[in-house]
Amino acid sequence: MKASDRPEVLSPTTSGSTAPPSLQQRSDPGAGALRDLHLSRGLLVRLVLGAGTLLLVVFGLPGLLDSFWLKIVTSVVIYSIVTLGLGLLIGRAGMVSLCQFLFMAIGAWVALRIDYATSLPFPVLVLIAGLITAAIGALVGLPALRLSGLYLALITLMAAGAITVLLRIAQFPNGGGGFFGNSSAGGATSRLPRPAIAAGDTAYFRYCVVVAALMFLLAVWHLRGKPGRAWAALRQSQVTAVAAGVNTILYRLWAFALASFMAGVAGALLAAASGGVNINQFPVQNSILLLAVVLMGGVYSIWGAVVAALLLRLLPALLDDWGVSTELLTILFGIGVLQVLLTAPGGLVDQVPKDLANLGRAVAGLARSVTGRAKPPEASP
Amino acid sequence: MIEVEGLTVRFGGVLPIDEMTVTLAGGTCGLIGPNGAGKTTFFNVLSGFVKPVAGAVRAFGEDLLAMAAYRRARWGLRRTFQTEQAIANLSVYDNVRLVHENTGGLRGTRRQDVMDAVAFVGLDREAHRQVGTLGVGERRLVEVARAVVGQPRLVLLDEPAAGLPDEETEHLGELIRRIPQEIEAPVILVDHDMSLVSGCCATTAVLDFGKLIASGPTAEVLRNEHVIRAYLGTEEEV
């Protein structure tokens, strides 16, 4: 196949990568010469938009929500950090992991354990939880040096299973003694004390938004820098990356470590959220659910992570509120993933704007054909 | 100066390269042969993607085969691929920058070095375009720009003109001729386009079924009757 035969957008190519068919390389959505020529202005606009949205979310949103929905959106914010990491791993580095959900549990566990043992401030706990989870993530990522696609998914799913088993044995620390820090008298649910500046639910929501924003900046910083380019090369093909001098071992493990760092940070935040954490919150099958929403949200844009978190946390709550069975979600997500794999590799964050634009054109075309009868109705593209 | 001695590669029962011994001097050297002769396998040995069962490759006195594959780029080995491999998701500039920053290129001169390489192939006006939006000819040029950035010591071009129209092949030929002088790196060119090979290469080596059957000045090699029989399969004039 000649390269010139490829369509420019949405082109899953046959370049020999072993990722699932529609997850292979493709042009970034909307990436044209125009945007690249006005890179700095485009960046400025995006920064302003991002900051505006952030301010709106931080200060506007809590006032509109009661305590139940505030709890839900807080968890959306926390989960968006995990989906961000997994999205980067799949979309940018071209690898898959099914243990990110359980890495949240590890992050929560580490933060709780260290909190019971020391009096370190909350941000330090979050950071340590992230770093230790990153180290474990890099270990679990070792098979990724040899395996990809289905086999890597299988290995990471088994790792997730192993973590669940260990978690059942160890339980979350609740002030007991020993290495595991758990005593049967302490109750099944553990909660990390919040920082003094974010003791209330609203303040903690804002705190989480700030941490999530930092994680998104960390992601952008990676993607615009040397790691992002190295991952782009790796995703295209291993030999291209090696021929360009990319240390493929380092960058593969780094991608795993970064995604796991984010999962660990999210886990620590989750441990301090309302309700705390208990072991029943982390069933293995949620790993697959997490993968599904990340694919549906879109792995080629970091904003896909927000959509994914909304699908994962807000949608079930909404369905529940409307009296619809949340069992329906499994079916919906199944159809959604099928749709993404078959027709919309960019996910919702890429597809919805396109669909809206198409709809707009169709409506405009219809309006033209109704008002101006002079010319026959033309098919909209 | 690339010295290949007794190089043998084995894939199961097949010997894609069989006791190849050749010395490639500076300048641009052609490597030709029918499909399956072992040309790309030879490049893959140099790149570190294929491990030979026997033999040695010394480049400027250094044992190339002892280096880890990704370190060879840092040493100065550059290559293009038969199926063009410019990275679709990155801009032209970032494609070249990727090579520069991963091969020990200095940060201080990065912008200049990268732009020089992009300008060398004549894509300076397209530097910020996404490679995925370029045509096949331009993508080939991106690959050449990646091959000349950051002081290469040996440039391997694997069928760079495959699928290109004649005038673009001509432009590419001019670039290839400029590499030894302006970039100061020897080039090994694999291509089936004999006019490109004879136009660019002072010397040429011929592989057939993994064996080196001829090497020397290009014009002589192309007149060699063994070469004509093996490569062209007919007695036609070249």
Residue A51 confidence (pLDDT): 85
The single-letter DSSP state of residue A195 is P
pLDDT at B168 over 60: yes
The mean per-residue pLDDT over the stretch B52-79 comes to 90
Query: What is the pLDDT confidence band of residue A367, given thresholds at 50, 70 and 90?
Result: confident
Classify the C-alpha dihedral A364-A370-A373-A377 as positive or negative.
Answer: positive
For an interface test with A, give the residue of B41, B75, B89, B156 to mutate (most A CBs within 10 A).
B89
- Inter-chain residue contact B85 with A27, CB threshold 8 Å: no
The closest of A312, A265, A317 to A70, measured between CA atoms, is A317
Helix (H, G, I), strand (E, B) or coil at B23: strand
How far apart, in Å, are the Cα atoms of A4 and each of A112, A234, B88?
55, 22, 12
What is the SS3 assignment for chain B? CEEEEEEEEEECCEEEEEEEEEEECCCEEEEECCCCCCHHHHHHHHHCCCCCCEEEEEECCEEHHHCCHHHHHHHCEEECCCCCCCCCCCEHHHHHHHHHHHCCCCCCCHHHHHHHHHHHCCCHHHCCCEHHHCCHHHHHHHHHHHHHCCCCCEEEEECCCCCCCHHHHHHHHHHHHHHHHHHCCCEEEECCCHHHHHHHCCEEEEEECCEEEEEEEHHHHHHCHHHHHHHHCCCCCC
pLDDT in tens, A89-130: 999 998 999 999 999 999 999 999 999 888 899 999 999 999
- Whether residue A90 is contained in a domain is answered as yes
Distance CA B40, CA B16 (A): 10
The CA distance from B81 to the nearest CA of chain A, in Å, is 8
Residue A20 has pLDDT above 80, yes or no: no
- Write the CA distances from B30 to A10, A90, B158, B192, B207, integer angstroms: 38, 41, 10, 10, 11
- Which of A3, A230, A247 has its CB closest to that of B136? A3
Residue B47 to residue A8, Cβ atoms within 8 A:
no
CB-nearest to B70 from A226, A235, A248 is A248
For residue A29, being part of any structural domain is answered with no
Burial of residue B53, with CB atoms counted within 10 A of its CB: 0-12 exposed, 13-18 middle, 19 or more buried: exposed
Q: How many domains does one find in chain A?
A: 1
Q: At B85, which helix (H) or strand (E)?
A: none
Between CA A295 and CA A323 the distance in angstroms is 27
Interface pTM, i.e. ipTM = 0.88
Specify the DSSP class assigned to residue A274: T
Does B28 score more than 50 pLDDT?
yes
Q: What CA–CA distances, in Å, run from B105 to A73, B64, B76?
A: 46, 20, 11
Confidence class for position A7, pLDDT limits 50, 70, 90: very low
Q: Do the strands B154-158 and B2-11 form a parallel or antiparallel pair, or are they unpaired?
A: unpaired
User: Could you give the percent of chain A with pLDDT greater than 90?
Assistant: 45
Phi-psi region for residue B153, left (φ > 0), alpha (ψ -120 to 50) or beta? alpha
pLDDT at site B90: 92
3-state SS, residue B134? coil
pLDDT in tens, A333-364: 888 888 888 888 888 888 888 888 888 898 98
Q: Do B99 and A2 touch (CB under 8 A)?
A: no
| Chosen CATH of B1-70+154-159+186-238 out of 3.40.120.10, 3.20.20.80, 3.40.50.300, 3.40.50.410 | 3.40.50.300
Helix (H, G, I), strand (E, B) or coil at B61: coil
In angstroms, rounded to a whole number, what is the distance separating the alpha carbons of residues A89 and A96?
Answer: 6
Confidence of residue A39 (pLDDT cuts 50, 70, 90): low
Q: Is beta strand B2-11 parallel, antiparallel or unpaired with respect to B62-63?
A: unpaired
Q: pLDDT at position A1, please? A: 38
Q: What confidence tens digit (pLDDT) does each residue in A286-325 have?
A: 899 999 999 999 898 888 999 999 999 999 999 988 988 8
Least confident among A241-245, B50-54, B233-237? B233-237
Domain boundaries, chain B: 1-70+154-159+186-238
Total residues found in chain B within this entry: 238
List chain B residues with CB under 8 Å of A241: 70
- Which residue, B217, B147, B150, B203, is CA-closest to B179? B147
Strand order in the sheet with B2-11: B14-24, B2-11, B54-59, B62-63
B6 Rama class: left (phi>0) / alpha (psi -120 to 50) / beta: left
- As a whole number, the mean pLDDT across chain A is 84
- Per DSSP, the three-state class of A190 is strand
Answer whether A197's CB lies under 8 Å from A207's CB: yes
Give the C-alpha separation, A141 to A317, whole Å.
33
**Mode of pairing for the β-strands spanning B28-32 and B187-190:** parallel
- When mean pLDDT is compared across A8-12, A323-327, B65-69, B157-161, the lowest value belongs to A8-12
Binary contact (B102, A235; C-beta < 8 A): no
Within-domain flag for A88: yes
CA distance A12 to A27: 9
pLDDT for B99 equals: 94
The reported pLDDT for the residue numbered B232 is 63
Q: What pLDDT, on the 0 to 100 scale, is given for residue A345?
A: 82
**Does residue A187 register a pLDDT over 90?**
no
CA-to-CA distance for A366 and A236, rounded, in angstroms?
42
Residue A381: inside a domain: no
pLDDT at A44 over 50: yes
The number of angstroms, rounded, from the C-alpha of B66 to the middle of its chain's C-alpha atoms is 20
The answer to whether position A2 is within a domain reads: no
Run of H or E residues at B53: none
Place of tokens 């090994």: B188
Q: Which of A91, A121, A379 is nearest to A268 (CA)?
A: A121
Instruction: Tell me if B102 and A240 make a contact (CB, 8 A cut-off).
Output: no
Q: Which residue has the tokens 């964050």?
A: A349
| B74 and A245 Cβ atoms separated by less than 8 Å | yes
Can you tell me the distance from the alpha carbon of A241 to that of B102, in angstroms, rounded to the nearest whole number? 10
φ, ψ (nearest 5 deg) of residue B111? -55, -45
DSSP A182: -
> Residue A332: pLDDT above 70?
yes
Q: Tell me the pLDDT band of A373, cut-offs 50, 70 and 90.
A: low
| Tens digit of each residue's pLDDT (9 = 90 or more) over A27-36 | 444 444 444 4
Sign (positive/negative) of CA torsion B22, B28, B33, B34? Answer: positive
A-interface mutation test, from B41, B75, B87, B94, most A Cβ less than 10 A away: B87
Helix A285-297 / helix A328-342 crossing angle, nearest 10 deg: 50
Run of H or E including A278: none
Compute CA B78 distance to the chain's CA centroid, rounded to the nearest angstrom.
8
Summarised one tens digit per residue, pLDDT across range A54-85 is: 888 888 888 888 889 999 999 999 999 999 99
* Structural tokens at position B87: 């990275």
Handedness of CA A349, A351, A356, A360 (dihedral sign): positive
Give the pLDDT score at A268.
96
Q: Which of A8, A33, A236 sits opposite B85 (nearest CB)?
A: A236
Domain range enclosing A147: 45-286
Interface residue ranges in chain B relative to chain A, Cβ cutoff 8 Å: 47-49, 69-71, 73-74, 78-79, 81, 83-85, 87-91, 94, 97-99, 101-104, 128-130, 132-133, 135-136, 139, 146, 163
- Give A5-32 as a DSSP string: GS-SSS----SS--S-GGGS--PPTT--
What single letter denotes the amino acid at residue A35? R
User: pLDDT band for position A381 (50/70/90)?
Assistant: very low
What pLDDT shows up at residue A102?
Answer: 95
Q: Residue A144: which residues within 8 A CB-CB, separation 6 or more? A: A95, A152, A252, A253, A256
Residue A126 domain-assigned (yes or no): yes
Q: Report, as an integer, the average pLDDT of B3-13.
A: 90
Mean of per-residue pLDDT scores for chain B:
89
Number of Cβ within 10 Å of residue A345's Cβ equals 23
Top mean-pLDDT range of A42-46, A128-132, A376-380: A128-132
pLDDT of residue B42: 92
Evaluate whether B103 touches B73 at the Cβ level (below 8 Å): yes
